[in-house]
C-alpha cells in the first residue's frame, strides 16, 4: 500500500500528473492515493519534492535522493563503454567475489519490468558449476543426436550445431578442464529467470553493463538455455520456480584476455518517419 505523509505533502499535484494509472487525486489540498489500480511502480515516491510518499511493502532505506555527481553518466563515455564490451571466452583461474555478484544482481533487480511485475529471479551457480556443465552437455548431446537422426530440409540448417554439441560432450568427457567449450572454466554462472522473456532480457542487459564496470567479463550461453528447455532434471537442479523460464545464462569471471579497441558494426537499419 502506498501512503502519503500529510504533514509533508504540499498538494503540488506532481504525483497526480505522473501517475500513469490515475490512482492519485488531490483531496482537501493533499495527495490521496486510492490504492485501487496502483501497481507500486514508485513514481509518486520519486517525483514528490517533499519526500511525502512512502510504502511499507518495500525497504524505504533503499531510496536515494538524486544528486548530479552521484547519478550522472556522461553520454559519450556510456556509448564508448557499450561499444568496447566484448563477449569473453577466456577466464582467469580466480574466484569472483560474492559482493561483485550481488552488485550484478542489483543491476538486474532495479531494471524496469512490464506493469512493475518484478518477476525476474536469479540463480547463482558456483559450487555446483561442474554438475551444471555435465547436465547441460548431456542434454545438448541428446538434442544433437535426435536432430541428426531426424534431419529434414527444414532442420538441415541446425546440422552443424548438432555435430558441435556432440563433439563438445565427447571432448569434455575426455578432458573436462582442457575442453570446457561451454563455460570456458569460468568460476560463476548467473541464470536469469522470469515469467516474461522481455523482463528477463532487459535485466540481463543491465547486468552485463555492471559486469563490465566491475572489470569482469561475461558470455551469454544460449547453449544452456536451449539445453534446459524441456529438461526436468536441469530445471530441478537449478531450482527454477514454477511458472518461470530460463531467459539467459551469464557465464562470469575475470577476463584472461585484453582488448585494445572497439570493433566495426553494420550501419544502423533505421526508418525515420
What angle, 0 to 180 degrees and rounded to 10, lies between the N-to-C axes of helices 197-213 and 75-84?
A: 100
Sorted by where each begins, the domain ranges of the chain are 2-62, 73-273
CA atoms of 107 and 86, how far apart (whole Å): 19
Phi, psi values for residue 95, rounded to 5°? -70, 150
CATH number at 2-62: 3.30.70.20
DSSP state letter for 9: -
* β-bridge partners, 251: 189, 219
Q: What is the pLDDT of residue 154?
A: 86
**Strands in the chain per DSSP E:** 2-4, 24-27, 30-33, 53-55, 121-125, 188-194, 217-220, 245-253
- pTM summary value: 0.94
Q: Residue holding cell 528447455?
A: 229
Instruction: Please determine, for residue 268, whether its predicted confidence score (pLDDT) is greater than 90.
Output: yes
- Summarize the confidence of residues 192-216 as an average pLDDT: 98
**Average pLDDT across the chain, whole number:** 97
Torsional sign, CA 74, 75, 81, 82:
positive
Q: What is the pLDDT of residue 51?
A: 98
pLDDT tens digits for 148-184? 999 998 888 899 999 999 999 999 999 999 999 999 9
pLDDT tens digits for 34-57? 999 999 999 999 999 999 999 999
Q: What is the pLDDT of residue 161?
A: 96
> Which fold would CATH assign to domain 73-273?
NADH Oxidase (3.40.109)
Amino acid at each position: 500500500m502506498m501512503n502519503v505523509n500529510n504533514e509533508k505533502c504540499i498538494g503540488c499535484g506532481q504525483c497526480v500528473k505522473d501517475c500513469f494509472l490515475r490512482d492519485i487525486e488531490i483531496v482537501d489540498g493533499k495527495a490521496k492515493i486510492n490504492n485501487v489500480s496502483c501497481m507500486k511502480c514508485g513514481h509518486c515516491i520519486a517525483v514528490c519534492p517533499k519526500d511525502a510518499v512512502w510504502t511499507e511493502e518495500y525497504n524505504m532505506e533503499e531510496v536515494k535522493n538524486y544528486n548530479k555527481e552521484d547519478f550522472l553518466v556522461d553520454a559519450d563515455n556510456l556509448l564508448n563503454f557499450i561499444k568496447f564490451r566484448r563477449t569473453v571466452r577466456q577466464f582467469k583461474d580466480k574466484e569472483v567475489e560474492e559482493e561483485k555478484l550481488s552488485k550484478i544482481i542489483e543491476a538486474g533487480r532495479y531494471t524496469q519490468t512490464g506493469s512493475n511485475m518484478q518477476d525476474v529471479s536469479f540463480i547463482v551457480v558456483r559450487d555446483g558449476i561442474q554438475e551444471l556443465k555435465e547436465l547441460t552437455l548431456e542434454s545438448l548431446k541428446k538434442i544433437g543426436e535426435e536432430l541428426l537422426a531426424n534431419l529434414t530440409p527444414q532442420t538441415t540448417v541446425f546440422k552443424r550445431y548438432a555435430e558441435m554439441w556432440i563433439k563438445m560432450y565427447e571432448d569434455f568427457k575426455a578432458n573436462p578442464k582442457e575442453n570446457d567449450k561451454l563455460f570456458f572454466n569460468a568460476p560463476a554462472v548467473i541464470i536469469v529467470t522470469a515469467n516474461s522473456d522481455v523482463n528477463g532480457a532487459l535485466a540481463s542487459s543491465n547486468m552485463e553493463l555492471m559486469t563490465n564496470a566491475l572489470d569482469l567479463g561475461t558470455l551469454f550461453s544460449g547453449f544452456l538455455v536451449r539445453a534446459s528447455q524441456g529438461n526436468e532434471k536441469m530445471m530441478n537442479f537449478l531450482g527454477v520456480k514454477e511458472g518461470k523460464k530460463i531467459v539467459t545464462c551469464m557465464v562470469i569471471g575475470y577476463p584472461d584476455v585484453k582488448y585494445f579497441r572497439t570493433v566495426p558494426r553494420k550501419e544502423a537499419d533505421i526508418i525515420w518517419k
